[in-house]
Amino acid sequence: MSKYVQDEKPPMTAEAKAWLEKETATQEDRYKAIVDEQDGLIPEREKWYAEFLEIVQTKGFNFTGDQRRVIPKEEIAEKPDRPDAMRVVW
């Protein structure tokens, strides 16, 4: 079996463990703040989605590079009736 430097890493030190624990908690707070902020954008995001769907039906959708295809109305999805429909942070 190949062996790598990472396989010989000394165990995590107590100060590194404390650092990881503290930063994990801070990251959870950061995540929560992002979720709250992004939930606050939902009304604006609804408008952005509507504008986007208008653009792909008129100017077209970039399917690769600058190549566009105008999407017919019947291919446009309906907003689903599920609670995560407007969720963007996972």
Under the binding rule (CB under 8 A), the answer on residue 73 touching other proteins is no
Contact assessment for residue 71 and residue 61, using Cβ atoms and an 8 Å cutoff:
yes
Under the binding rule (CB under 8 A), the answer on residue 16 touching other proteins is yes
Under the binding rule (CB under 8 A), the answer on residue 42 touching other proteins is no
Under the binding rule (CB under 8 A), the answer on residue 70 touching other proteins is no
- Bridge partner residues of 62 (DSSP): 68
- Class of residue 51 by CB neighbours under 10 A (exposed 0-12, middle 13-18, buried 19+): exposed
Binding site for other proteins (CB under 8 A): 1-10, 12-13, 15-16, 19-20, 23-24, 26-28, 30-32, 34-35, 38-39, 41, 44-45, 48-49, 52-53, 55-56, 59-66, 68, 71, 75-77, 79-80, 82-90
